[in-house]
Structure 1
Amino acid sequence: MTGVVVMLVLTATVIVTLVALVLAERDMKSVIGDQQYSLLSSIAAQVDAQIEARKVLLASMADTIPANAASDPAAMQAFVDRHPVARKQFLNLHIFNREGMLLHTEGDHTSTTRPPNPRAREFFERAMAAGKPVVSLPYKSEITGLPSIMILHPVRDAQGKVAMLFGGSIDLSNTGFLDQIALQKPGQTGYLFIMTREGILLHHPDATRLLTHINARPGYNRATEMALDGFEGWVEATNKDGSDGIYSYKHLASTGWIIGARFPVDEAFAPMIAMRQHALLAAAIFAAVAGLLAWLLIQVLLRPLDRLHRHIGDIRSGSADISVLQRRRRDEIGGLSIAFHELMAEREKAQEAIRDNESLISNILERAPDAFVSCENTGIVTMWNRAAERIFGWSGEEAIGRDIAELIIPPDQRDAHRTGMTRFAQGGKGPMINARVRVTALHRDGREIPVELSIGSLRHGGAYYATAFLHDITERVEYEQKIAASEARFKQLARIDTLTGIANRLVFEEVLQQAILRSRRHRKPLALAYLDIDYFKEINDTQGHGAGDVVLREFAARLVASVRASDTVARLAGDEFVIVFEQVANAAEANRLAAKIVEAVRSPFMLDDEQRKVTTSMGVALHEGDDETCGELVARADSALYAAKRNGRDGYVVGD
């Protein structure tokens, strides 16, 4: 009970604490995300302002740039020297003229002229055709090797046409352009980064990833894909390394770049994690104190119950009788004591009745018509009634005290029997089998006895015993065997023509179907012969049906003697016979087989000690392809038979 109290208090405290912390974490997560997004919005505004300021600076310089600056490096250098502020704001200043030459400054008081690379030239030409200020895509600076951008401003001549492009390049890493990005990272391990709308990294704590695609690393980050699809705001996601973080994104208005921030969840919620641990510790301490108080209270409340327990122990040991349970108490324990007294009084009466019933049951089992055997869990026989003596040949005096396996269990079943007894001993009470099962037992003289067995268990004197009823079914088994033999004989007779002893129509249909399947499978040809006895009705009419039966039996015998072992002869009805020839090579072989059978029939038949000439007409059909059915093949063979009759009988026709 103390443990239950501790568990209930601990569970309730932990649930309330965790629910409160989950709600607080959800609110805290929202606050962190909103703060992080507000910070990015402020940084984005600052970056947009810097880009716009540089655009304004270039515009003011473009209005005063000398017309010969595009072709005279000295004039270009003098113009730049008059604007020291621009030198601090830009890494380099450039002029791209219509002749395709790039004039730019390198360091202090140095100007050079050279053609741009093809990629830069293509960008300059598009910018000149646009006729308005543009910001280039990020590129790797040839001077610093770091990410840079260029702002270009058109310079127009007196006619208003674009005469040149005046631009300034900005190093995104070594200037103060993005200093506030690094200084305003979230937490200790969080960081800020910038990428283009195409995913090219412009600013990142890992310098090796600059100017590479953010998805160049293998893996998937849901927050990154949302930002590239235009998402602004904050979201919780898992990065490609498997750690969770709060991601915030803001798009720059001036360039469309994406400023992002990642704040690891472990760091963001470090105070909440510590608070959770402290709360769980406090809950455990509170539960322990509650359990101690509950234990003390339970000791006081259960003291009367402990006395009742001692009284029951004294009754079981014999040092007291059940009268000690009649002491009156006006509480639940007193009511329980009285109930125990009544129960034990009823138990004593029941035990006396059981002893009387045991004697009655023993007499019933002793006179039972079936063998009854009981054993200890070791297999030692404890009871062996008169029916067991009669069925198995062992007297009760001989059987009781011996292992039952040595008495009636066949040797090949004793291992399984001992395994079952071991399980019975381990479980204390074996499973009850209500339905009878058929097994084999041994008689004392060694002969086997079929019996029906039902087993169970009984408890006596605190121990469990295995019990079994065994019914001798020797006569039933012999009767069943006779019935089975009769059924097998009947089935065999149902498949044989009773007059001739050869296969009947049923067998023929099965054989033909299987033969056609084998012919299709093995691509071996097949032929079917359909034949009858010429003028058979005349034999029956002149010499009687007895003579006709003699002819039918002799005719069937000659057919069987004339075919191969793989062929099947069957009688359909009357004087109609069929032969299934398997593996017939061609029509020539079919003609040879048919001629052999017709010739075998021509030998005279003996009827009433007289010889009589008997002939046959025979039609043969070769199986044609996989599509022909059994019925179609029989019909073609029957047609060939009628053709043989039209030819004058005593012959054969092999159909097309």
Structure 2
Amino acid sequence: MLKPGIFALRSIKIRVTLFTLGIFMLSIGLLAFYARHVLREDMQNLVGAQQYAAVSMAATGINEELEDRFRALKMVGETVNPALMGNTPAMQTFLEQRPIFRQLFNGGAFITGLDGITLASLPYSAERIGVNYMERDFLVAALKEGKASVGRPVMGKQRLVPLFVMAMPLRNAQGKVFGALAGVTDLNKPTFLDKVTNAPYGQAGSYALITPQHGLVVTATDKSRTMQPLAKPGVNTMLDRYLQGYEGYGLTTNSRGVEMLTAAKGIPAAGWILGSAMPAEDAFAPIYAMQRGLLLGALLLTLVAGALTWWMLRRQLTPVFKAMQSLSEMSETSLRTPRLPITRQDEIGELFGAFNRLLETLDTRETALRESEMRFRNLIDNNNAAILQTDPASGQILDANAAACLFYGWSPVQIRSKTLQEINALNPDHITEKRLATDSHERNPFAVQHRMANGEIKTVEMHSTPVTVGSQTQWVSIIHDITQRARTEQRFYRLMCEQTAILNSRIVGFVKLNDRKLVWGNVAFAEMMGYSLDELTGQSTKIVYPSEQAYRTFAEAAYPVLQRGEVFRSEIQYRRKNGSLGWYDVVGSMLDPQSGESIWAFVDISARKQAQAELVTAKARAEQANRAKSRFLAAASHDLRQPLSALSMYVGVLQSKTTPDNRSLVRKIQACSDSLTEMLTDLLDVSKLEAGVVTPRLTDFVVEDFLSALVSVHSAEAQSKGLCLHLRPCATVFTRTDQALLTRIVGNLIANAVRYTEKGGILVACRRHAGAQWIEVWDTGVGIAADKTEAIFEEFTQLGDGAHLRGSGLGLAIVAKTAELLGLQIRLRTKPGRGSMFAIELPAGQAHVQAEPCAPQAEPRPLRIGLVEDHTEVQQALVMALENTGHEVLAATSSQALLLRLGKWAPDIVISNHRLDGHETGVHVIDAARHAYGAQLPAIILTGDTDPALIHSMAARGIAVHSKPLQMDRLQMAIMQATEPGFA
């Protein structure tokens, strides 16, 4: 009997009832849809025509308003006298005496000349006078094309409000344009357009005034849309049609996905379009209400029809329900099936009679099937071979004999709960392949791996045959255990594969020789030599040697080793078939000393040999490039320092002319100049250290004096950060090293400590460690992570956050390279968050007597200075700086020009740049001046060249060398030293 729930849908009553309801609902739904479609189209045409009429009326009103304003502009413009254009006050008075502009233009009006600059503005407070509007389209049309126009809606230049401008050209009596008169409409204030946009169409409709040529909304009922861009082409189809000139109405979907009924009408005076839109839901509301009523009535009629249909079917199908109940009770007994009672002679009675005859036939077949099943069961259960009966679709084991249960280790109940997928240890693709073979009646046995109850994997041989039982196909499989045989075959196969893979390797060549003739070889060896295996087999190995002598030499070296039973290995050069030579790593051994057979392995090492040769060549090129780099440094140093010298001189001049207002700015410029100088010095120092052009000059000096000077240099920066920079006394410590290079090392360490310390202090001290003296710099800064202690000594490496990332990132790289040059060690101790300690080793030095300090010198006297500098900026800076200190400067760009300027009066000193245009140098300039005014004439060479040989040669000529970038105090000191023999 049918039960409620999932079986209820199978009931004839339910299906007929639902079908009847479906027909009613479908018919009424189609009718409602048709009525809605027809009425909607009529309603759309009616409402659309009304909406278009309203838009047309509003557009006509706006067009008349615009034409009134054009007429006003033209009328006033005809009264403008061209003579007033040069008289701004008169023009302003003329404009203010025209009250019509205040009535028609809420943003005022203004007059411009032919250059687009405003000459008069109404109101005056609009701050338009003097503003150039030449780039605006309305002025381009008025001044250049002589046409009146309405401009693009824009944001005002002065007050930054949305507005549009109407412009009219001003013409003289000859009709020539001499200016423009423009009226401004401020869209943020009430305008004549608000009469339309503030009166929405319908309950939810709205207006929008757009300028198609600019793709903008001029104004709209929704003021937030003012000056907003229009939707892109393709987004709103009706908008695209309106922009192409269509005037009318239509349905469209806006950018929010809402269906709208729209209408649009053009405004010829401005080339604008007035559009209105209202939601289609409002326009078609009567249709939707009618449709809802129709559907509600259809639902009520459908329910009535369904109830009547249900009652009729229940009455007609009562005998069927009773028969179903009887059949359900019969199925619960194992006796002979009773027959159904026939209560009436109609179609249902005939159905019951046919069913009773079918039951008679089924009883006869069931008896025969039961006897056949007993015979099959005896055949399976008494067989000594393991037999499985399975479902090919699901792999479920349907039955198994006693031998199968014993083999797999499961009970009959357990094994019937398994599937072939569970006991099969093969991958699914392999299982599918075997299943297809069985389905195609291929009776050849195949081997698979099965999993036993204890987890053991055994290899079995299966003979599977598809058998049809009724309408179902099943597999009957006879299984034999072949695990041991499969393992033996697998070991043998693996061994053969490994040997074959080794011999067929494309990396190592193998050959077997007998009396130095090739008996066998692999493909790799043949490819190495450029032959085929057929060409090599049976040939003497002499074919691959470059000469007879090489053939004999190899035999004399190799075969005595092989005869002793040892392995011979060597690197040999062979000739390939194409005549080229290659290098090979050869290893061989004798198979049997009595038979003369040997086995050899070959590896092509030609690429390695070539790489070694290329490495030697590359090393030579690198050394040559390093020498070229050294030559480049001298020239690069000069060129890079030139602009910095000019900057430094100009800053020096500014410092002597500072006022309270610019003193801070001058200090900042000086700091930037010093930073650039320091960065350039760092870069050049690194380059010089890498090029090996720096030669240490060892001297003995007192470490405490040396450190005191460095600490005093960095004290100001430390104090500015609120840090304590302390030097521990070490008066008894002497060292012997290059003082200038050590200054760079310790100075960089102290600068880094100040830079990366935010609170606490820095300690500089001398301390003995491991039998040597060290300078140690301690700080309480951020510290360094353990994995970064090596990276910090690399070039351009900086750690920490952005607040600490200053400088070039070369300081510690210079420290490391300079220490390596001096042969000094560096120690580092650090703890993140606690601080760091950097230490530099000090070589032992000898004590010496310090010289008495020199007495203070007098102030420098004004000098007559001859200056040669071909770089204009640097020359001007030098002249200004030197004249600012009281000197008379005669500047030139060559020696000949200098002598002409000096005339017969000798200068007190000659200062010249070293590298000049052409082939002339500063040495040539000084030689020419000394030839003219005496060999003892003091002279100074200015250069950015760091070549030590240049400095030595200048000293031999009695010429002082001053390095760029120039600093005025240092240059003044050099001048005094050169001109005052007693000046120290």
Regarding TM over 0.5, the answer is yes
The equivalent of 2:193 in structure 1 is 178
Change (3 A) 1:163 1:270: same
Q: State the SS of the aligned residue for 2:328.
A: helix
Aligned partner of residue 177 in structure 1, secondary structure: coil
Question: Does structure 1 residue 596 correspond to structure 2 residue 554?
Answer: yes
1:537 is aligned to none
Deviation per residue, 1:574-597 (Å, 9 max, x gap) = 46347989xxxxx89x97786122
Q: Is the 8 A contact 2:55 2:263 kept in 1?
A: yes
Work out whether residues 528 and 580 of structure 1, in 8 Å CA contact, stay in contact via their aligned partners in 2.
Answer: no
8 A contact 1:90–1:170 mirrored in 2: yes
8 Å Cα contact 1:191-1:263 kept in structure 2 = yes
Contact 1:374 1:468 (8 Å CA) reproduced: yes
**Alpha carbons of 1:61 and 1:510: their partners in 2 closer, same or farther (altered >3 Å)?**
closer
**Matches of 2:135 and 2:411 in 1, distance apart?**
114
Q: Equivalent of 2:540, from 561, 576, 585?
A: 576
Which of 462, 477, 480 matches 1:469? 477
1:202 to 218, 222, 233: 218
Question: Who is 1:416 aligned against?
Answer: 422
Match of 2:843 in 1: none
Letter in 2 for 1:576: S
Using a 3 Å threshold, how does the CA distance of structure 1 residues 366 and 138 change in structure 2: closer, same or farther? closer
Is the Cα contact below 8 Å between 2:25 and 2:298 reproduced in 1? Answer: yes
- Structure 2 CA distance for aligned equivalents of residues 302 and 380 of structure 1: 44
Deviations 1:351-376 (A, max 9, x none): 11112222333344467685435799
User: Is the Cα contact below 8 Å between 1:315 and 1:321 reproduced in 2?
Assistant: no
Q: 1:384 aligns with which of 390, 395, 401?
A: 401
Quick one: distance in 2 between partners of 1:173 and 1:509?
Answer: 90
**Following the alignment from structure 2 to structure 1, what is the Cα–Cα distance between the partners of residues 53 and 36?**
25
Contact 2:517 2:540 in 1 (8 A): no
For residue 336 of structure 1, report the CA deviation from its aligned partner.
Answer: 1.4
* Native 8 Å contact 1:405 1:417 kept in 2: no
Structure 1 residue 252, shift from structure 2 partner: 1.7
Is 1:509–2:529 an aligned residue pair?
Answer: no
Q: Which residue of 2 aligns with 1:451?
A: 461
Query: TM-score under structure 2 normalisation?
Result: 0.41
How far has the Cα of 1:306 moved from its partner? Answer: 1.4
Distance 1:200 1:184, change over 3 A: same
Taking the TM superposition and a 5 Å limit, the aligned residue runs for 1:69-218 are: 76=94, 80=98, 88-91=103-106, 102=119, 115=129, 117-119=131-133, 127=142, 133-138=148-153, 147-150=163-166, 152=168, 154=170, 157=173, 177-196=192-211, 197-207=213-223, 209-211=225-227, 213-214=229-230
Distance 2:511 2:332 in 1: 86
Distance 1:438 1:111, change over 3 A: closer
1:316-355 pair list within 5 angstroms = 316-317=331-332, 324-325=339-340, 327=342, 329-355=344-370
Q: How many pairs does the alignment contain?
A: 524
The runs of 5 or more residues in structure 1 that have no matched partner are: 421-429, 517-526, 531-568, 582-586, 606-618, 624-630, 638-656
- 1:238-267 per-position Cα deviation (integer Å, ceiling 9, x unaligned): 545555544544332111123233334454
Q: CA RMSD in A?
A: 6.4
- The gaps in structure 2 that reach 5 residues or longer are 1-14, 427-434, 505-509, 564-571, 584-984
Match of 2:340, SS state, is: helix
In the alignment, is the contact (CA less than 8 A) between 2:516 and 2:540 conserved in 1?
no
Q: 1:338 to 1:202 in 2, by over 3 A?
A: same
In 1: Cα distance, 2:102 partner to 2:367 partner:
119
Q: Partner amino acid for 2:360?
A: A
Greater RCO (Cα-Cα under 8 Å, separation 6 or more):
1
* Structure 1 residues 440 and 49: CA distance shift in structure 2, 3 A: closer
Q: Which residue of 1 aligns with 2:447?
A: 438
Residue 295 of structure 1, CA deviation = 1.6
**Quick check: 2:410–2:453 contact (8 Å CA) kept in 1?**
no
The DSSP-based 3-state class of the residue aligned with 1:185 is: coil
Report the CA distance between 1:119 and its aligned residue. Answer: 0.9
The 3-state SS of whatever aligns with 2:387 is strand
- Partner in structure 2 of residue 308 of structure 1: 323
Query: Which deviations, in whole Å up to 9, do the C-alpha atoms of 1:148-188 show, x marking residues without a partner?
Result: 4335375654x666788666555667566224422553343
CA contact (8 A) 2:236 2:255 kept: yes
Distance 1:97 1:486 in 2: 100
What SS is found at the alignment partner of 2:331? helix
SS of corresponding position for 2:201: coil
**Alpha-carbon distance in structure 2 between the residues aligned to 1:577 and 1:480:** 40
Report how far residue 65 of structure 1 moved.
8.3
Show CA shifts across 1:411-447 (max 9, x none): xx99934999xxxxxxxxx999757663467899x99
SS in structure 2 of the partner of residue 325 of structure 1: coil
What's the CA shift for 1:484? 7.7
For the pair 1:263 / 2:272, whether they are aligned, the reply is no
- The 8 Å contact of residues 151 and 164 in structure 2, kept in 1 or not, is answered as no
1:568-627 Cα distance to aligned partner (Å, 9 max, x none): x9994446347989xxxxx89x97786122566699x9xxxxxxxxxxxxx97445xxxx
Name the SS for the 2:422 alignment partner: helix
Cα displacement string for residues 502-545 of structure 1 (whole angstroms, at most 9, x for unaligned residues)? 997774334333xx4xxxxxxxxxx7899xxxxxxxxxxxxxxx
Residues 169 and 181, structure 2, Cα contact 8 Å, conserved in 1: yes
Q: Counterparts of 2:50 and 2:307 in 1: how far apart (Å)?
A: 47
Secondary structure of the corresponding residue to residue 361 of structure 1: helix
Task: Select the residue among 232, 246, 250 that pairs with 2:265.
Answer: 250
Mapped partners of 2:242, 2:79: distance in 1: 41
Are 2:55 and 1:40 equivalent residues in the alignment?
Answer: yes
SS in 2 for 1:119: coil
Structure 1 residues 264 and 125, CA gap change in structure 2 (3 angstroms):
closer
Distance 2:179 2:397 in 1: 117
Aligned residue for 2:477, secondary structure, equals: strand
Aligned partner of 1:291 in structure 2 is 306
Cα distance 1:98–1:499, how it changes in 2: closer, same or farther (>3 A)? closer
Offset at 1:202? 2.3
Identify which range, 129-138 or 349-358, moves more after superposition: 129-138
1:44 and 1:415 map into 2 onto residues whose CA distance is 81
Partners of 1:252 and 1:27 in 2: CA distance: 29
State the Cα distance separating 1:269 from its structure 2 match. Answer: 4.9
CA distance in 2, matches of 1:312, 1:220: 67
Name the CA distance, whole Å, in 2 between partners of 1:279 and 1:459. 60
* Corresponding letter in the other structure for 2:55: L
Listed as ranges, the matches of 1:508-527 within 5 Å are 508-513=522-527, 516=528
How far apart in 2 are the matches of 1:143 and 1:599?
101
